[in-house]
Structure formats: C-alpha cells, structure tokens
Amino acid sequence: MNDDHDQPNPQGASAPRRRFLRTAGAASIGVAGFPFVHAQEKVTLRYLGTAVNQDKKIAEKFEADTGIKIQYIAVTTDDVTKRAVTAPNSFDLIDTEYFSLKKIIPTGNLLGIDTKRIKNADKITTLFTKGEVGGKKVGDQGTAPKKVMYLEKPDAKAFANAPTPYMTLIPTVYNADTLGIRPDLIKRPIESWTELLNPEFKGKAAILNIPSIGIMDAAMVVEATGLYKYPDKGNMTKKEIDLTIKALIDAKKAGQFRALWKDFNESVNLMASGEVVIQSMWSPAVTAVRTKGIACTFQPLKEGYRAWAAGFGVPKTLSGKKADAAYEFINWFLDGWAGAYLNRQGYYSAVLETAKAKMEPYEWAYWMEGKPATSDIKSPNGDLLAKVGAVRDGGSYEARMGGIACWNALMDENVYMVQKWNEFVAA
Amino acid sequence: MSSSRRSDLTAAPPDLGAAVLAVRQYGAAPHTDLGALAAPSHPAASLPGRVNRPKHVVAWLQAAPLTAVFVVFFLVPLVLIAMVSFWQATDYELIPAFTAQSYLDILAGCGAGEGSCVMLSTYLSTLKFSLLTWIFTTLIGFTVAYFLAFHVRSTLMQTVLFILCTVPFWTSNVIRMISWIPLLGRNGLVNDVLVSSGAIGQPIEWLLFSDFSVVLAFVHLYTMFMIVPIFNSMMRIDRALLEAARDNGASAWQTVVHVILPLCKTGLIIGSIFVIALVMGDFVTVGVMGGQQIASVGKVIQVQANVLQFPAAAANAMVLLAVVLLMIVALMRLVDLRKEL
C-alpha cells in the first residue's frame, strides 16, 4: 500500500504535505544533527506476531512519535514460526517466542541484532542475559531465553554459549503463567498443579492445545502428583513423553476436559461462560475475564510457574531505510512508554527502569512490588482491574519471576511429541 | 445433452465446432470427406488435409487458457504435495530423500492394542461425521426441496422462499457456527430453559463440545448445498408425469418413491458430493464445535502443517484426497452426470 518510491502524485492533494515533511525533515536534520528515517518518506513496517501482543495504541503512539507506520500481521504462535521459516520476506519485524528460535535460527532467516545499535541493550533484565532475578538463579528447564539469546556472528545458524554483541531477539514481553481459576465457582483454595486433573473438576477443566506449551503444563501436573520427576521437563525422552501423554489421555477419557483451547479468546469465553472453572491460562486472558466483571484468579501454585518470553527479531533480507526503521522501533519499544503500557496489562517489560519512569508510583507499587493498591488500578483502556487495597496475584516481580519452574520448550523429540499430542486430541 | 456439452467445451463458433467434432470422429482418417461435414459457408474447410491441422491448433488454443489455469493452480501444487509427502523433514528444513515413512506413520500403532491406531481411527471418525451429516442433510434437503417444488404453487412464492433459505448464507460460516455456543452451553439458553421448566435437574453436558454439536453445526451449515441441486432437479420434472402417476392410481408416497426420487437422482448425487467433500476436509467446525478435542483428518493436517511437519501433512492430504475421490467415483457410478445434466 505504502511504498517507498517517490512516485509522482496524480492527485496532487498531498503534495504540499510532502513538501512540508521534507522541510520538516531538513529542519530536524539541522536540529538533531542526524537524519531521522521518517523525515524523508513514510516507511511502513510489517510486524508479524500474535494478536495478543499487537496493540493498536502502541502502533498509534509509535507513529505519532516517529512517523513510521506499523502494519500488524496477526497470526497464531505456530504460524509465526511457520512464516519465519517458509516466508521470511513477508515481514519486516518478527515478534516471536524464544522457544521458536530453535526452528528459525538454523534456517538463517533471521539476522542477529547488533546490540551496539540498541541504546538500552545493557539494561535488559538479567532474566534474559544471565537467567537470574534479583541476583538469584531461576529455573531453566525448557527453552530458557539465556540458552538461545546470543549468536557468534549476525548470520550464525547456531547459538553462542556465552554473551556476544549479537542477540537473536530483543525481549519485548514475558510472563510467568499458571492456572486460571473461577474462585466464585470453586469456593476453596487452589494451591497445586495437581488440581487441573482433580476429578472434582470433571468436565470443567481445560488445557491449551498448543503442543509445545500444553505438554509443559501437563508435565507440571505429573510432577506435582508425584507420579514422576523429570530430569528436564523441557526436553523429555520418548518414554517421558509417553508417560505424560498417557496421564492426559486417561484424564480425557474420564471426561476431565470440557474443551481444549488454542486461541486466547477461546480461553476467555470458556472461563467467562462458566463452561470451565480451572484451566491453563494466559495473564491477559485473566484480565479480559475480569474486565467483564467476572471473578477470575491467576492462581500462584506451590510448584512454580511456567514462563514464556517473546522478542523482536529482524529478517535477514531487511536493509536500508526499513532496517533503520526496525531498529528505531525496537529502541522506541525499550524506551519506556511501551514497557509501561505492557506492565499495566500484567506483562513484564524487558527494560524495567525506563518503564518505571513512565508509570505512576502507585502503579509501579501494585504491579511490580506486589504492594496493595493505594488507588484504583486501571488497564490501559481505562477498565477497572483492581480496587484500592487489592494485591496482585503472585505478588512482586521477584516473587513471581523468581518462582519460575520451567520455560515453554521445543524438545529434541518434538516430532514424536506432536504425534503423541495428536493421539491425546483424538483419544 | 451430451453433444451440446461437448461443443460447449470447445466453445467455438458453430462451423468450427462441427469441424472439431468431425476431426474427433474421423481423426484417424484425415482423407475422409471433411468438406461435406464442415459448414459450407467456410470455403477453406472444403480443402481436406490443409485445414485439418490449423483447426486442430485452434481447438487446442481455445482449450489452452483453462488448461493452463488447471495446470498451474491445481496439477502443479498437487504434484508438489505428492512429492513432498515422500520427503523427510526436520524442524526447519525439508530433505528431498525418498521415504514412505509419512505413509507408514498413518498406520503406526495399528494392531498394537486398543486406542493406539490413532490416524486410522481419525479417518473413521471423519467418515462417521460425513455419513451422519449426509443422512441428515439429505433428509432435510429433500423435504425442503419437495415442499418448495411441489407444494408451493406460485413462482413468486417459490422464489421468495428459496431466497429465504439462502438468508443465513449472508453471514459468515464461522459466525453461524459460533452462534450455537451460547445456545447449547452448560449455562446456555437450551439448558436454562430445560432446567427452569423442571424437565431436567442437571444441565445436559453433551449438547456442546460433543459429536452431537459437531453434526448439528455441519447439518446447519451444509443443508443448503443439498437443497439447491435437488430443487433444481425437481423443477425439471415434467408435471405430466406426476399426473400420469396419479391417474394410474399411485398414492402420494408411491409417486415420491417411484417417480420423483429416481428423477432427482442427479440433484441428490451432486448435493452428496458437495456435502461429503466439505465435511471430509473440514477442520474449523470440528475444532470449534468439538471444543478442540475431537479429531478430524483436516485438523490433523492443520496441526502437522503448523508445526512444520510438511511431509506428514502432505501424506495425509494425499490419502484424504484418495478417499474423497473414491467416494465420488462410487457416487458417479450411480448416475451418469454427463448424460443427465
């Protein structure tokens, strides 16, 4: 739609605007000392990711700040990976989960991001660079970001073992997931992952139907019941996969699951309608149920959380103005406004201190420090999320992220795992 | 009707069509008197030998655009899929090495005890849905078409009612499907009414996310594909035949069974092909109405393609295609569509 070529404008209507932009561009060069990308001609970045992360307000704010347009391409988690592998020319910026990198990096379709061009690169939280929260190591079973964070050189097809100047992805959002419950329908405390397969909730439980993530939830349950202790939940052997899937199939045959869900909105509907009272869930889905005025808790459990993280990557084919624009967007994203926006949704941002500067102190205290709210907490859209005195599920950043037990994972036996997962779906 | 269809295919002016036909019939013997067969208004056609070849070329050229479209958008992709189904793949690349593993995997686990023969049972369950949907859409489709064709007398009323049938198609497939959910859910309208009227004590669970809801949605979505061709066939039936049946003392039921049903065979077969092909390939309806926990072949193919296991997905696609083709061939044996249309 919006191409970069300077074509004659048949209507002539926007010609004065164009001239103005050029003048403005020249002025900004004069003032700032270096040329801004947007000052020359409008650039559009095609941003490939899942709908959950693609907020309209973020794109609007970025365009207002820089003049660069963001065109969202919203697909499912699996499809993001598929497009990165099969159609690397179909986007200018990718927002993907870290576990997908094991499929994408070997294709050479992504180019390592030069951290020298990322202003806040050294301020990215230690969770990504070292696998630590507040100086303490967290669980790294599964595809922990630190394992796939660095490349030896930009076009490397394998991961580096130690930090290098080239990052695979610049983290955008991450969180620690757990079970979502309807406290008003369950009416008793829930403390362990075992409750997902507790026959008490027969026909009222759900699990998500994305094999890489669902299997991790199932593993958390299996371990919590004491059935088996995995050496590494994130990289199971065939035998361990058999055992985990068998536990799921047995539960399914006994009628435990009301449904499986694949899409964020499905999980919201299942919970809000009361079809399901306990299920694997994502944080913004819990928020979405709550904004409907329905009680829903993102219940912290004693065995810990299953964490996930997503980040921005750039395709190998990106060059020139578009590459500059992509870097500008990433820099802008880490600069605070977007981080604050995400923190207010219950996610966490990659650079905490810039986000803190853009949040009210009471917001920061509620979302990040786990303190009771001193005034009403609202979502970025203005919906009421928590009243005065409420405390965030799971407490402070350190308490939540420090409680990570494992990460979403791509296993070595992935083909076999998916095959077994299909068996579970068909059972 | 068959000859008119043939000349339609070559889509030629009448004289040329005749010549083409002549070439077809006498193609083996180019020295037969072509001039007599070709239209006299075309002098060149009366020169045997010289015309034969260019005519041939023109006919091929006329068929070329459609052929090209078919080759590029149908044959080539199909061949590619067939090819990939014999390849190997890792998480991130396709390896062009010949192996039948993807096909063997479909049969994996069969004979190893109950519940392990996953793909085969998935095919069976998909066939089951096709069969159930076919039975219900045929019954409903035939009834509705019968009513429209024989009970509604005025053409205006027929048109109005027929358009009324198509109204649901003005909204999207997905919306029509999803709108069942609030109706059938545990706290949905149906359960609410039944519970509050005291008919049942507990909400009925199998209304949603079950085989029942899947078949219900299929029937709702696809009955129209039955109604249209059956109605079309019925409208072509010579009313004099019905009068003759009545005059000979046939009851209404006998007329339906012995006169109308055989004469609607074409419509029934065309509708059946639509419904069966649609249900066999479906993955959305089964997903949404089955709560993602009922398997179908389409769904499996989708999952495999999503996790980049293209050879496995391609192999399943080939098998599914073969199954559907077999069913269509079987249906075509029941009626000679070319002759009937």
Domain with CATH 1.10.3720.10 in chain B: 114-340
Kindly identify which residue of chain B lies nearest to residue A106, measuring between CA atoms: B92
Is A381 domain-assigned? no
**Same domain, yes or no: A193 and A293:** yes
Q: pLDDT grade, residue A393 (50/70/90)?
A: confident
**Same domain, yes or no: A299 and A320:** no
**Same domain, yes or no: A231 and A342:** no
**Same domain, yes or no: A297 and A419:** yes
**Same domain, yes or no: A200 and A334:** no
**Same domain, yes or no: A353 and A299:** no
- CATH at residue A249: 3.40.190.10
**Same domain, yes or no: A237 and A343:** no
For the whole model, what pTM was predicted? Answer: 0.76
CB–CB contact A275 B186 (8 Å): yes
- Total number of domains constituting chain A: 2
Q: pLDDT grade, residue A225 (50/70/90)?
A: very high
**Same domain, yes or no: A261 and A209:** yes
Domain that holds residue A420: 179-303+396-426
Its ipTM equals 0.72
**Same domain, yes or no: A215 and A283:** yes
* Chain A residues in contact with chain B using a Cβ-Cβ cutoff of 8 Å: 76, 78-79, 81-82, 85-86, 102-104, 106-107, 203, 209, 211, 249, 252, 257-262, 266, 269, 273-275, 410, 414-415, 418-419, 421-423, 425-427
Is A223 domain-assigned? yes
Contacts of A102 in chain B (CB under 8 A): 91
Contacts of B205 in chain A (CB under 8 A): 203
Is A75 domain-assigned? yes
What's the Cα-to-Cα distance from B151 to each of A262, B146, B154, B158, B264, rounded to whole Å?
47, 7, 9, 9, 16
CB–CB contact A209 B292 (8 Å): yes
Kindly identify which residue of chain B lies nearest to residue A80, measuring between CA atoms: B306
Is A3 domain-assigned? no
**Same domain, yes or no: A188 and A169:** no
CB–CB contact A258 B291 (8 Å): yes
Three-state SS string over chain B comes to CHHHHHHHHHCCCHHHHHHHHHHHHHCCCCCCCHHHHCCCCCHHHHCCCCCHHHHHHHHHHHHHHHHHHHHHHHHHHHHHHHHHCCCEECCCCEECCCCCHHHHHHHCCCCCCCCCCHHHHHHHHHHHHHHHHHHHHHHHHHHHHHHHHHHCCCHHHHHHHHHHHHHHHHCCHHHHHHCCHHHHCCCCHHHHHHHHCCCCCCCCCCCCCCHHHHHHHHHHHHHHHHHHHHHHHHHCCCHHHHHHHHHCCCCHHHHHHHHHHHHCHHHHHHHHHHHHHHHHHCCHHHHHHCCCCCCCHHHHHHHHHHCCCHHHHHHHHHHHHHHHHHHHHHHHHHCCHHHHC
Pair A379, A344: CB distance under 8 Å: yes
**Same domain, yes or no: A212 and A293:** yes
Is domain B114-340 classified as CATH 3.90.25.10? no
Residue A388, SS3 per DSSP: coil
The residue type at A53 = N
Is A144 domain-assigned? yes
Mutating which of A99, A104, A419 best tests the B interface, going by the most B Cβ atoms within 10 A? A419
**Same domain, yes or no: A183 and A298:** yes
Whether the per-residue pLDDT at A8 is higher than 90: the answer is: no
Mutating which of B292, B297, B300, B309 best tests the A interface, going by the most A Cβ atoms within 10 A? B292
What's the Cα-to-Cα distance from A3 to each of A41, A46, A63, A83, A143, rounded to whole Å?
9, 12, 16, 22, 38
Q: What is the pLDDT of residue A15?
A: 45
Mutating which of A415, A420, A421 best tests the B interface, going by the most B Cβ atoms within 10 A? A415
pLDDT digit string (tens) for chain B, length 341 residues: 344 443 343 333 444 334 333 334 443 444 444 444 444 444 444 445 455 567 788 999 999 999 999 999 999 999 999 999 999 887 777 888 888 888 988 887 776 666 667 888 889 999 999 999 999 999 999 999 999 999 988 889 999 998 888 887 888 888 888 889 889 988 888 998 999 998 888 888 889 999 999 999 999 999 999 999 999 999 999 999 999 999 999 999 999 999 999 999 999 999 999 999 999 999 889 988 988 888 889 988 988 888 888 898 999 999 999 999 999 999 988 877 777 66
Contacts of A421 in chain B (CB under 8 A): 303
CB–CB contact A262 B186 (8 Å): no
Is A375 domain-assigned? no
Is A36 domain-assigned? no
